[in-house]
Structure 1
């Protein structure tokens, strides 16, 4: 029987599992070496409880990454929304900073490679939803409304893809320079939707 995500007990258990995982990361510094058994032992729950909340370790890790990214957005983006080019620039900077921060936990090896697309997808879902919501509110003209979904998709992947490439070799170019260039490209990509509004 599926759990009700709105039940306070379910929320507490999920939070306990996520907190236990964070404590294990602080000890081991490598997310890939942490097993479901490690998480449940630390949280003092059984494996059945874990699987009642998460389909598998992949689903758990996606939830963890989305939650981490959501918290960073809440802390650093005023009102968790975009209102102008300044807040759009902040959003791009947040993505770059977040990938630089989480890259330390993502040591690339052949056995770890399945997790990287999972994390990228988790971040993308949050980024896309934020851009889609903002553009939906901004778009007034019928033609602009039609372009919201594709524009949010294009811009979110553009920001994330650039930040991912940069995070793999951050010494190559300063993040500040990349963020500024990305802002110019993003602004041009958003213009057709925003100008029609």
Structure 2
């Protein structure tokens, strides 16, 4: 039977499992070495409880990554939304910073690489939703409204893909330089929805 996500007891148990994982992560400094058994032992619950809340470790890690990114957005992006080019720049900066900080817990091996698409998807869902919501409000003409969805999709993957590529070799370019360049490209890509190119891009 699926659990009721709105039940306070369910929320507490999920939070306990996620908090236990975070505590283990601080000790081991490696996402992939932490097993379901490690998490349930730390949380003092049985494995059946874990699987009642999460289908498997993949689902658990996706939930953890998405929640972690949501909290960073809440802390650093005013109202957790985009309102102009300045907040868009902040969003891009958050993505670069988040990936740089998260990368320290990821040891890249052929075995562990299967988790990367999972993490990328979790972050992308939040990026896409933010952009789609903003552009849906800003699109004023029939033509611009038609391209909101594909524009949000392309721009969100563009930001994330560039940040992922940079995070693997951050010593090659500074994050600030990359963010400035990505913002210029993103602004041009948004022009069809925003009706005209953005002139006041905060560099």
Q: Same fold (TM over 0.5)?
A: yes
Q: TM-score, normalised on structure 2?
A: 0.95
In the superposition, the TM-score normalised over structure 1's length comes to: 0.98
Is the Cα contact below 8 Å between 1:106 and 1:116 reproduced in 2?
Answer: no
Alignment partners' CA distance in 2, 1:70 and 1:63: 10
The runs of 5 or more residues in structure 1 that have no matched partner are: none
Count of residues paired in the alignment: 196
Structure 2: gaps (5+ residues): 197-203
Q: Which residue of 2 aligns with 1:60?
A: 60
> Residue 113 of structure 1 corresponds to which residue in structure 2?
113
Does the Cα contact within 8 Å between 1:135 and 1:152 map onto a contact in 2? yes
Does the alignment pair 1:149 with 2:188? no
1:16-72 deviations in whole A, cap 9, x for unaligned?
Answer: 000000000000000100000000010111111100110000000000000000000
The separation in 2 between residues aligned to 1:86 and 1:95, in whole angstroms, is 15
Offset, 1:128: 0.6
Farther off after superposition, 143-152 or 59-68 = 143-152
Could you tell me which residue of structure 2 aligns to residue 75 of structure 1? 75
Q: Which residue of 1 aligns with 2:122?
A: 122
CA deviation profile, 1:57-96 (whole Å, cap 9, x unmatched): 0000000000000000000000001111100000000000
Deviation at 1:138, TM superposition (A): 1.2
Check conservation: 1:96, 1:175, Cα contact below 8 A: yes
The residue aligned with 1:139 is: 139
The Cα offsets for residues 86-108 of structure 1, whole Å up to 9 and x where unpaired, read as 00000000000000000001110
The Cα RMSD (Å) is 0.8
CA–CA separation in structure 2 for the residues paired with 1:15 and 1:145:
39
